[in-house]
């Protein structure tokens, strides 16, 4: 694909979006393969991005995301306001449960492309391993925080969301609209959502939405526990209280 007519920012974004969880370090050849940019334009662009700290050189003639890009990302309200305000309450939830604690927001340019973006995480040596990471993107219908976020959406939004097939992450993933709508209704009634081995086998999650806060996307907090030690009757109230505390702190900031 030629880059004729494309602006510099567009080409730069095409390069930066090549980096993923599966490929955090890439050679120039691999970036060229993914973007289709001509070699001469690509190498000039890689040099510029490296000079400005958006990319960094790594062993093996590869590139990684640069420190300056991370630094700028930390100026986002998701970091400065949401995560920093939520961290003390997430820590209390971790101390009460000893389990992974996650904070996620609804990243939804459209309902059809909406995902749960993980913006905060607390874990410990005794916590069960999870797929989530800071900045990780996961489906709404297979994660606890994702279901909690879905439960905040209105009917018109959900109609568009369900217009596209839901992918199955494990054999336990709920991909039926009828079943998932029933799950969302239960979440609204009790104040928290749950998943049972729907994203990762052996894991159970319990999550609650924070509620609307002006200037921030919808957010949810949750815990992920091992199946054999998941006590939802105990975890549910703890997660709901943490969500309330975070929202109160955000509203009073």
pLDDT (tens digit per residue) in 59-83:
999 999 999 999 999 999 999 999 9
Q: Are residues 38 and 61 in the same domain?
A: yes
pLDDT tens figures, 189-208:
999 999 999 999 999 999 99
Q: What is the pLDDT of residue 1?
A: 42
Rounded to two decimals, the pTM is 0.85
The rounded distance, in Å, linking the Cα atoms of 132 and 12 is 27
Q: Are residues 61 and 83 in the same domain?
A: no
pLDDT higher for 129 or 12?
12
Q: Are residues 93 and 190 in the same domain?
A: yes
Least confident of 8-22, 68-82, 96-110, 120-134: 120-134
Q: Are residues 57 and 88 in the same domain?
A: no
Q: Are residues 34 and 84 in the same domain?
A: no
Q: Are residues 12 and 107 in the same domain?
A: no
The rounded distance, in Å, linking the Cα atoms of 200 and 70 is 28
Res. 46 pLDDT band, cuts 50 70 90? very high
Range of the domain at 160: 74-251
Q: Are residues 220 and 113 in the same domain?
A: yes
Residue 2, in any domain of the structure: no
Q: What is the CATH number of the domain that holds 58?
A: 1.10.10.10
The rounded distance, in Å, linking the Cα atoms of 31 and 38 is 11
pLDDT above 90 as % of the chain: 83
* Domain tally, the chain: 2
Q: What are phi and psi of 248, to 5 degrees?
A: -60, -45
Q: Are residues 39 and 106 in the same domain?
A: no
Q: What is the pLDDT of residue 2?
A: 44
Q: Are residues 61 and 101 in the same domain?
A: no
Q: What is the CATH number of the domain that holds 194?
A: 3.30.450.40
pLDDT higher for 174 or 123?
174
Q: Are residues 97 and 12 in the same domain?
A: no
Q: Are residues 85 and 155 in the same domain?
A: yes
């Amino acid at each position: 694909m030629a880059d004729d007519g494309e602006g510099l920012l567009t080409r730069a974004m095409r390069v930066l979006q090549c980096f993923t969880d599966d490929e955090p370090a890439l050679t120039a050849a691999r970036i060229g393969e993914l973007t289709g940019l001509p070699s001469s334009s690509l190498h000039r662009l890689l040099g510029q991005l490296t000079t400005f700290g958006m990319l960094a050189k790594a062993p093996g003639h590869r590139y990684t995301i640069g420190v300056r890009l991370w630094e700028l990302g930390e100026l986002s309200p998701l970091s400065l306001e949401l995560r920093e305000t939520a961290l003390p309450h997430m820590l209390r939830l971790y101390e009460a449960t000893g389990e992974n604690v996650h904070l996620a927001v609804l990243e939804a340019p459209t309902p059809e492309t909406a995902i749960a973006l993980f913006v905060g995480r607390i874990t410990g040596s005794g916590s069960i391993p999870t797929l989530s990471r800071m900045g990780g993107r996961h489906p709404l219908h297979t994660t606890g925080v994702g279901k909690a976020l879905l439960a905040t959406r209105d009917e018109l939004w959900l109609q568009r969301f369900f217009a596209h097939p839901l992918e199955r992450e494990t054999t336990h993933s709920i991909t039926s609209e009828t079943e998932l709508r029933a799950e969302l209704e239960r979440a609204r009634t009790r104040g928290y959502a749950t998943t049972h081995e729907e994203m990762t086998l052996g894991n159970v999650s319990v999550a609650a939405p924070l509620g609307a806060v002006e200037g921030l996307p919808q957010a949810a907090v949750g815990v992920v526990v091992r199946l054999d030690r998941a006590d939802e009757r105990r975890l549910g109230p703890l997660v709901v209280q943490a969500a309330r505390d975070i929202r109160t702190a955000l509203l009073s900031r």
